[in-house]
Chains A and B, each alone.
Chain A
């Protein structure tokens, strides 16, 4: 069973999962109380108008038929329409997904950049004060509601100190946006060579990425710490020390490198946290991504966006986990045999 076979097997497993995901997101929106046709019609509509809309939305057909309409719509790219923006959901998504993606990636970098050193420190100086502090910091992010952290950071760094930008978007008002290639302002600005836009984009990304990164890094810190601990206790490392290799080189060289491989498995979990945390952090910083769009859709019982958002997140999650599994399978041959 080579790596190719492993890939095929993993891909095949994705299909039933995706089907299950569409069923769940369909069920979710149908459990929502209230009549989506009434929402679309507005408060002043007459019953005839509402019935008309119900017919056009297919709400009078039996459930399996509605499910089939839903899935075939998905495959065509028709995700329905949003009642609060009046536009096709696909268009709303196209506009907002890059913002969420940018925040997610930046937060991931922050989580790795903070989480890995903290985990290493904690492992290397086990049971010392440094260990305790690192553990509290590393895990602390997960213990605080991210809206709390976010608002406090905003209050301190924007309002009191004035070093963070106002929560009004991804770029300062007086900066011309770079031509849109990926939708990720930082990358677009870098590609176009706009130094001012690049700095402004990073500036605006700073606090939200810090808030979200801090909130999700706990599993990473834990994993790095645990793996480092195990490796540091291993015979191989002890032998290296006994042989006289400098401790520092062993710890931060081979040990760290080997500790980072299992970290890949945690990335899937962290991605889940990131997607969830996005919702809250985007609201606190008025970041124009999917988060607030989804919350509004949920609160106003707008079925098109809700289904699509839930589906989008789930599909991303499935594929990220797939990628993680494949990466890990590449790195560790033992996995493929299972």
Chain B
């Protein structure tokens, strides 16, 4: 084949022209108004409601399954279009009403009449019992929560009184029970769909439910392409009015910079995730034309875990010194950009019982140095500060912390670990310093302190704190059903933790979402995950 220069260049020009053929101005895309397009960076790992591992699975479950009751939301005064959950307020969902017996030790749910599964079969109390039985016995999250938090240990405690009456019999009255029932893990599964897939080795069809949705909910999962997108469509014949958004498209966009560009170009409606956008990028989108930001203080705690089983962190003076070295005045503006609140207590500031005036700690390097001297430890102390890869605010805070800790005699090496490794090392007790975060989905001070400070909570008490006095207070308060008496020991408990400087107190998150100005009906519930049923476009 003889190519002469002229045809050679003609070929190249042709190739270039082919490239320009696709050029077409973007933005103002032909997007259907009744479809909402959301960008995030997570996949569905399992659709089994009893499990909870990754966000992708949980959000899909929360939107495709109803629960017996749900957290109620109320509109917020100065933020039109947004609603927030209040403590101890619930809506009936599958249950149209509920009542308490035995002073609240039994909760009775009245099943709504006329609600049908997609198969056509009616939703009955037997179906609810199946779901709860499954939760209690199938491997997963509820299997741990039911016995440890509300004293339900046997399926006998789930009673079917008649077709439309279901009762949960706990050992004692428990104020957390309703919140536990409201968790999306208690999804309304259709037992007759699921049972055929149970086997000898897998009696609760965990393998099948991992990949399939079989129950009643506002949306159905119509497409799951991991790494690309998840598509939900409104359920036909749903027992509530049709949602505004007939289609919810969750697009997988791993790079945060891409998500920002997509928002700026209005190519998507919203970015979600935990957190989806770092505070820096949220700040840069403030005032952006066509976008708005919804920001509310939230209950996620971010703290510096100091391993109480390792020297020198077993010395309370060292821990206090570290608290005086935390440059919170640099972290708030430069890491959180105002999207967060300073932590003054182990309890989140929105949790009942919170005391914000107990903490003496503030940035005071001289005092920190003095405390280190009093502790009498030999400096410099080499120490590893572990943070999780991808947790942008933690990574940034660690740099600020490192500078300050070095001023008081530590030689800090920042170690970035992946989620799985981080958890494993933490559980083994091999972390010295690490930045941890925790959110209690049940907004109760004793639920919170139980997981984080009780000596028996091996997996979640990251500081390995052991204080029999505090243990007793927590145990007693967990069992206390009178709401006022329940909060009585809150102040004492917080003082113990603060005086003992169990944590390096960092901050509480804000829940932030950036979206197009025409999106409303966003609801934030205690578990922070979006349910798109009530969302609308103005």
**What residues make up the interface of A, taking CB atoms closer than 8 Å to B?**
33-35, 38-39, 42-44, 49, 83-87, 92, 95-96, 113, 117, 151, 154-155, 158-159, 162-169, 172-174, 199-200, 202-203, 206, 248-249, 251-253, 256-257, 283-286, 288, 292-293, 299-301
Contact = CB atoms under 8 A, between A and B. Distances in A.
A249 B2 contact: yes
Contacts of B139: 49
A285 B228 CA distance: 11
B29 interface: yes
Contact of A172 (B29, B141, B228): B29
Contacts of B8: 117, 252
B44 interface: yes
Interface of B: 1-5, 8, 12, 15, 18-19, 21-27, 29-32, 37, 39, 43-47, 51-54, 57, 139, 141, 144, 210-211, 225-229, 249, 251-255, 257-258, 261-262, 264-265, 267-268, 389, 418-421, 423-424, 459
Q: Which of A33, A158, A283, A286 has the most CB of B within 10 A?
A: A286
Contacts of B4: 248-249, 252-253
Contacts of B229: 169
A261 B148 CA distance: 72
Given A165-B26, A286-B254, A85 B265 contact: no
B336 to A, nearest CB: 25
A257 B22 contact: no
Contact of B418 (A43, A172, A300): A300
A167 B254 CA distance: 10
Most central of A38, A159, A164 by chain B CB within 10 Å: A159
Interface of chain A: mostly helix, strand, loop or mixed: helix
Given A87-B226, A173-B249, A253-B2, 18 more contacts: A38-B420, A44-B141, A44-B144, A44-B459, A84-B45, A86-B46, A86-B211, A158-B261, A159-B264, A165-B26, A173-B29, A202-B19, A249-B2, A252-B3, A253-B4, A257-B3, A293-B227, A299-B389
Given A38-B424, A162-B27, A253-B4, A286 B418 contact: no
Q: Which 7 A-B pairs have the closest CB atoms?
A: A203-B22, A166-B267, A288-B228, A85-B226, A174-B30, A286-B253, A253-B2
Given A38-B420, A288-B227, A292-B254, A164 B26 contact: yes
Given A34-B421, A158-B265, A256-B3, A169 B26 contact: no
A196 to B, nearest CB: 11
Contacts of B264: 159
A253 B2 CA distance: 5
B23 to A, nearest CB: 5
B24 A163 contact: yes
7 contacts: A85-B45, A117-B12, A155-B261, A166-B261, A168-B267, A174-B29, A283-B254
Q: Taking each of A167, A249, A251, A283, which has the highest tally of chain B beta carbons within 10 Å of its own beta carbon?
A: A167
B43 A84 contact: yes
A158 B251 contact: no
B257 A96 contact: no
Contact of A173 (B5, B24, B31, B46): B31
Contacts of A154: 258, 261
Nearest to A205: B22
B22 A113 contact: no
Contacts of B12: 113, 117
